[in-house]
Amino acid sequence: MTVPALGLELGSGDRIVVGVVAVVALAALAIGYKLLREVLSADPGTPEMQRIGEAVQEGAQAYLRRQFKTLGIFVVIVFLLLFALPADDIGERIGRSIFFVIGAGFSAAIGYLGMWLATRANIRVASASREAGGREKATRIAFRTGGVVGMFTVGLGLFGAALVVLVYAGQAPKVLEGFGFGAALLAMFMRVGGGIFTKAADVGADLVGKVEQGIPEDDPRNAATIADNVGDNVGDCAGMAADLFESYAVMLVAALILGTAAFGLQGLLFPLIIPAIGVLTAVLGVYITRTRVGEGSLTTINRSFYISAGVSAVLCAIAAFVYLPGTWAGLSNPTDSSVVADMGGADPRIIATIAVIIGIVLAAAILKLTGYFTGTEDKPVQDVGKSSLTGAATVILSGISIGFESAVYTALVISAAVFGAFTLATGSITVALFAVALAGTGLLTTVGVIVAMDTFGPVADNAQGIAEMSGDVEGEGVDILTELDAVGNTTKAITKGIAIATAVLAATALFGSYRDAISQALSKAGVALEDAGTAFANEVFSPNTLVGVIIGASVVFMFSGLAVNAVTRAAGAIVFEVRRQFRENPGIMEGTVRPEYGRVVDICTRDSLRELATPGLLAIFAPIAVGFGLGVGPLAGYLAGAIACGTLMAIFLANSGGAWDNAKKLVEDGNHGGKGSPAHEATVIGDTVGDPFKDTAGPAINPLIKVMNLVSVLIAPAVVLFSVGDSASAPVRIIIALVAVAVIVAAITVSKRRTSSIQETPADSPVA
How far apart are the C-alpha atoms of 309 and 632, rounded to whole Å? 39
φ, ψ for residue 93, nearest 5 deg: -65, -45
Choice among 9-13, 357-361, 716-720, 760-764 with the minimum mean pLDDT: 760-764
Choice among 171-185, 445-459, 505-519 with the minimum mean pLDDT: 505-519
Per-residue b/e over 220-249, b at no fewer than 16 CB within 10 Å?
bbbbbbbbbbbbbbbbbbbbbbbbbbbbbb
Q: Label residue 202 by pLDDT band (50, 70, 90).
A: confident
- Highest mean pLDDT among 436-450, 548-562, 698-712, 717-731 belongs to 548-562
- Highest mean pLDDT among 211-215, 547-551, 691-695, 710-714 belongs to 547-551
Q: Label residue 342 by pLDDT band (50, 70, 90).
A: low
How far apart are the C-alpha atoms of 518 and 632, rounded to whole Å? 8
6 has pLDDT over 80: no
Handedness of CA 632, 633, 634, 637 (dihedral sign): positive
268 has pLDDT over 50: yes
Q: Label residue 439 by pLDDT band (50, 70, 90).
A: very high
Annotate 72-125 with DSSP letters as a single string: HHHHHHHHHHHHHS--SSHHHHHHHHHHHHHHHHHHHHHHHHHHHHHHHHHHHH
Q: Which amino acid is at 508?
A: T
Annotate 319-336 with DSSP letters as a single string: HHHHHS-SSGGGSB--SS
What would the pLDDT profile of 628-650 be if each residue is shown by its tens digit?
988 888 888 898 899 999 999 99
- In this structure, are residues 593 and 585 in contact, taking their beta carbons and an 8 Å threshold? yes
412 has pLDDT over 90: yes
Identify the pLDDT of residue 2. 38
Q: Please return the burial class of 555, using the count of CB atoms within 10 Å of its CB with bins 0-12, 13-18 and 19+.
A: buried
How far apart are the C-alpha atoms of 491 and 449, rounded to whole Å? 11
Q: Is 219 left (phi over 0), alpha (psi -120 to 50) or beta?
A: beta
pLDDT above 90 covers a percentage of the chain that reads 19
Identify the pLDDT of residue 764. 39
- Three-state SS for 170? helix
Residue ranges covered by each domain of the chain:
5-533
Q: Whole-number mean pLDDT of the chain?
A: 83
285 has pLDDT over 80: yes
Identify the pLDDT of residue 429. 81
Q: Label residue 762 by pLDDT band (50, 70, 90).
A: very low
What count of other Cβ atoms lies within 10 Å of the Cβ of residue 413? 18
- In this structure, are residues 685 and 737 in contact, taking their beta carbons and an 8 Å threshold? no
What number is the average pLDDT over the span 679-689?
89
345 has pLDDT over 80: no
How far apart are the C-alpha atoms of 108 and 102, rounded to whole Å? 10
- In this structure, are residues 595 and 581 in contact, taking their beta carbons and an 8 Å threshold? yes
Choice among 282-296, 529-543, 600-614 with the minimum mean pLDDT: 529-543
- Highest mean pLDDT among 213-222, 264-273, 279-288, 399-408 belongs to 399-408
534 has pLDDT over 60: no
- In this structure, are residues 248 and 153 in contact, taking their beta carbons and an 8 Å threshold? yes
Identify the pLDDT of residue 383. 92
Identify the pLDDT of residue 1. 37
What count of other Cβ atoms lies within 10 Å of the Cβ of residue 752? 12
Q: Label residue 767 by pLDDT band (50, 70, 90).
A: very low
- In this structure, are residues 616 and 74 in contact, taking their beta carbons and an 8 Å threshold? yes
What number is the average pLDDT over the span 231-249?
78
- Three-state SS for 264? strand
Identify the pLDDT of residue 489. 74
Annotate 703-722 with DSSP letters as a single string: HHHHHHHHHHHHHHHHHHHH
Q: Label residue 763 by pLDDT band (50, 70, 90).
A: very low
Handedness of CA 700, 701, 706, 710 (dihedral sign): positive
Within a 13 Å sphere around the CA of 6, how many CA atoms are in the beta-carbon half? Answer: 7
